Amino acid sequence: MRKLTVFNNVSLDGYFTDARSDMSWAHQNDPEWNSFTAENASGGGVLLFGRITYQMMASFWPSKQAFEMMPTVAEQMNNLPKVVFSRTMDSASWTNTRLVNDHMVEAVRKMKNESGPGLVIMGSGTIVSQLTQQNLIDEYQIVVHPLVLGSGRTMFEGVNDKLALRRTKMRTFENGNVFICYELT
């Protein structure tokens, strides 16, 4: 059975995007952070996205700027298999992308039961919320940034039941970020 992991950046007050849906605050450029990001990207897997995150990632990672800024991460992001869940898209043009237009929960259940590399959701708060409610996410990898946004979106909008988790890993960075991994208890 495949493991489904979420990797998201959040502000200290728990938002993964600000009130304008901007996530640029999560992108930092320092050697320690860049090394961690490159190492984390080399973990492989199948990337799962909602439409908004997919379109944002597809517009950046194949670009010359991405390859100049973070060549290792850009190579991984472009080469890894990807699935985008969208009821409104007709096609997905980013390399190695499969489009799923409906029945997301059933599609994820099926993917989890297949053999193969792990599944990773990046961003895509609506998908995280829906799959959390179905108990399909095995691990939450959260990077907490020392920044208060005041408002925005959380990954758990719409989740009504308590979710009991246990911390499995933690790492702090000189830039103030804290990487924390949680699994279901």
- Amino acid identity, position 143: V
Strands (E), 31-138: 46-50, 82-85, 97-100, 119-122
Judge contact between 125 and 52, C-beta under 8 A: no
Q: Choose which CATH entry (3.40.430.10, 3.30.420.40, 3.40.50.300, 3.40.50.720) describes domain 4-169.
A: 3.40.430.10
Specify whether the backbone of 183 is left (phi greater than 0), alpha (psi in -120 to 50) or beta: beta
Question: What is the value of pTM for the model shown?
Answer: 0.92
Mean pLDDT, residues 138-144 = 96
CB 105 within 8 A of CB 136: yes
Q: What number is the average pLDDT over the span 171-184? A: 95
User: What order of strands is seen across the sheet that includes strand 4-11?
Assistant: 97-100, 82-85, 46-50, 119-122, 4-11, 139-145, 178-184, 165-172
- Any idea where the domains of the chain sit in the sequence? 4-169
Question: pLDDT for 22-75, tens place per residue?
Answer: 888 887 778 898 788 778 766 779 999 999 999 999 999 999 999 998 888 899
